[in-house]
Amino acid sequence: MIQPLEVVPGFDLWPSLLSPQVQAELIADVLQAAETAPFANYATAYGKAMSVGMTSFGPLGWTSNASGYRYADTHPGTGQPWPAMPQALLDLWTQLGDPDTPPDSCLINLYRGQARMGPHQDRDEADPRFPVLSISLGDTAVFRIGGTSRKDPTRSLKLASGDVCRLSGPARLAFHGVDRILVSSSSIVPDGGRINLTLRRATPA
């Protein structure tokens, strides 16, 4: 395994970690999952629809509406359980996340066109000692990360298809987001766009 690049303390990046074959297999898994758990543009707590389409793998999926942000064990549109997490993601978590405690949620974000993700913290999980693993597939994203305060300085970098990064330790609650997508920078996702998978442990160990 190649050694990661530490972008800021606690934020590690493995460029091109996933082979083209693994990327294609994960994209196929996502598209299959979306047949039973369709992508949805959830509303924020402020009532505005997000530009990013979302669904999930695993026992729990992240959802949002006017009542707030939360994890749920069923898809809000279908009422059915979320699709099972692919073994490749479980193996990646064992390798880079926490070998003793499995993930119980994988958010699937689909970026197309002008979709972006504003600066936010991942703080809906019960125990921030567990990392968040982020996997990029498809178009390159211009990603921004700062500190634990919105006023902290930020830096930006490009995340390309096959890149994997980890937020842990001092970066686990850092503000981060996606400024924009470099449209058509990759052709691996059918109909274009970027798929981002974020593995996490939402419930206590």
- Helix (H) / strand (E) containing 99: none
Overall average pLDDT of the 83-108 stretch:
97
Q: What percent of the chain lies above the pLDDT cut of 70?
A: 100
Please give the pLDDT value at position 48: 84
CA dist., res. 51 & res. 71, Å (int): 19
One DSSP character per residue, 152-203 reads: S--EEEEE-TT-EEEE-GGGTT--EEEEEEETTS---STTS-EEEEEEE--S
Overall average pLDDT of the 9-24 stretch:
97
Please give the pLDDT value at position 1: 65
Tell me how far the alpha carbon of residue 158 is from its chain's centroid.
15
Exposed/middle/buried for residue 81 (C-beta within 10 Å: 0-12, 13-18, 19+):
middle
Calculate the dihedral angle through the C-alpha atoms of 96, 97, 101, 107, rounding to the nearest 10 degrees: -120
The model's pLDDT over 139-195, given as tens digits with 9 standing for 90+, comes to 999 999 999 999 999 999 999 999 999 999 999 999 999 999 999 999 999 999 999
Neighbours of 148 (CB within 10 A): 13
The answer, yes or no, to whether residue 47 has pLDDT greater than 80, is no
CA dist., res. 177 & res. 126, Å (int): 21
Structural domains for the chain:
5-200 (2.60.120.590)
Q: Which residue has the higher pLDDT, 192 or 48?
A: 192
CA dist., res. 129 & res. 170, Å (int): 10
Helices and strands counted in the chain (H then E): 2, 13
Neighbours of 20 (CB within 10 A): 11
Please give the pLDDT value at position 118: 93
